Amino acid sequence: MITLILNHEPYDGSDITYNALRLAKSLHKNGEAVNIFLMNDAVDLARGICVKPEIYDFDLHDTIKKLYERGVSVRACGTCNARCGIYKNTPYFSEEISSTMDQLSEWVIQSDKVLTF
């Protein structure tokens, strides 16, 4: 099991989030169990209101939602929902997404590898 912890705002002018999602997709495609935990401003990825700016080539929200639908475990910090991101207090695309540090702690303990972006 591999856990990816994302912290960056989805469309911050860098490819950090994009590359993390590309890695998650590739790992999952190669048969790895993948967890993605969103913290800080990365929680905007799990909000349906997060829309791709015109200058970006890739829809990061759509990408994470498709990963979730294909069986990648995606969770977002419940506390960060009210504190972080551009769209503070906006619900996540699924109620199941909201999570806790206890969940992240379990994933970290169970994982073979933990990567942060």
Q: How far apart are CA 95 and CA 13, in angstroms?
A: 29
Task: Out of 11-25, 75-89, 100-114, pick the least confident.
Answer: 75-89
Q: Provide the edge-to-edge strand list for the sheet that holds 98-99.
A: 98-99, 73-77, 34-38, 2-6, 113-116
pLDDT of amino acid 86: 84
Question: What average pLDDT score do residues 83-110 get?
Answer: 92
Q: What pLDDT sits at residue 106?
A: 98
Q: What percent of the chain has pLDDT over 90?
A: 77
Name which residue leads in pLDDT, 102 or 82. Answer: 102
pLDDT at 23: 98
pLDDT tens digit sequence for 32-85: 999 999 999 999 999 988 888 888 889 999 999 999 999 999 999 999 998 898
DSSP label at residue 94: S
pTM: 0.93
Q: Which fold has domain 2-116?
A: Hypothetical Protein Ychn; Chain: A, (3.40.1260)
Please determine, for residue 87, whether its predicted confidence score (pLDDT) is greater than 90: no
The residues spanned by each domain of the chain are 2-116
